Amino acid sequence: ERESEFKAFKKVLPDQREDEDLVTRNRSDEWRELGMAVDLNTDQQRIVHGVRHLVRVDRLKAVKVFQGFTRLGGEERDPPEIVLPDIVGESDWLPAIELYGEGIFLALDEERLKKWEQTPAVVSRLDSLRPRFAQSGRNDPNPLTARFMLLHTLSHLLMRQIESEGGYTAASLSERLYCNTKESMAGILIYVAVPDIAGSLGGLAELSEPRRFLGILIRALEHSRWCSLDPVCSNHEGQGPGLLNRAACHACVLVPDPACEYRNTLLDRGFVKGDAESGLPSFFGVT
């Protein structure tokens, strides 16, 4: 499912109607041209080259189906005890809702990403998290990878930055991650969706203008380097539910729960900002 979505976002779609379920404008060429602008310094050019695709999503349709919920303590069982929406269990259907909205899609440079995720320091930092992830009983993502940790943390940083610059509350935003090593997927969709068939007002999609988005990305990366709870947060070996976060807390990376696909876990600023002392490289090459 996500593989086909990932390909659809990257594909240039001609002759789109405004009322289609997916209406995009691929701005990747404009983004790459920006990387050659003479007014950008070396660090800014590295940031541009770290993103391969940038897409303005003027319209999207999301269908959300309520499959059930767990009561307090029920999710700790193996397998988790899921309570169906129809508690009696007589219905053969599930409640669902169609949402319409807009967003921004970006995909990281696959060649650079493969080199980064094979770095010994990156592998070592991920290995320290694997035992906790296995004990948590979680099966998503499967498998847990460094590229996932990078994408997830970067997604949260961008949502927090969009909240401060774009006029959206973080609770109104949603993320959808496209991460698969075999399929060479490394993408992030940040979107807003509402029940109104007309969708939202276009403010989020407007932020995909290359220079404007570059500014948002630069400031998001700057904020990844510090936290008001540092050095405690940066040096933390495990925090949050199941100790599945490392350098990630409410002061730097966490977002409202409805905005996160993974319940505010599996986050680590270290994978974004790097750490010179331990030899952990920054994906974007910015120090």
What is the distance between the alpha carbons of residues 107 and 126, in angstroms, rounded to a whole number?
21
Contact assessment for residue 243 and residue 140, using Cβ atoms and an 8 Å cutoff: no
Contact assessment for residue 45 and residue 112, using Cβ atoms and an 8 Å cutoff: no
Instruction: Please state which of the ranges 40-44, 146-150, 198-202 shows the lowest mean pLDDT.
Output: 198-202
pLDDT reported for residue 247: 94
SS3 77: coil
Instruction: Please state which of the ranges 71-80, 102-111, 112-121 shows the lowest mean pLDDT.
Output: 71-80
Length of the chain: 287
What is the distance between the alpha carbons of residues 138 and 197, in angstroms, rounded to a whole number?
35
Give 70's pLDDT tier (boundaries 50, 70, 90).
confident
Contact assessment for residue 188 and residue 151, using Cβ atoms and an 8 Å cutoff: yes
DSSP string, 26-39: E-HHHHHHHTT-TT
pLDDT exceeds cutoff 80 at 220: yes
Q: What mean pLDDT do residues 96-105 have?
A: 92
Residue with tokens 């069982």: 77
**Residue 269 CB partners (closer than 8 Å, separation 6+):** 153, 157, 224, 225, 227, 233, 234, 246, 247, 248, 252, 253
Give 169's pLDDT tier (boundaries 50, 70, 90).
confident
> Model confidence over 29-68: pLDDT tens digits?
999 999 888 889 999 999 999 999 999 999 999 998 988 8
Single-letter amino acid code for the residue at 13: L
Q: What mean pLDDT do residues 24-30 have?
A: 94
Give 21's pLDDT tier (boundaries 50, 70, 90).
confident
C-alpha distance from residue 196 to each of 98, 125, 158, 193 (Å): 9, 44, 25, 9
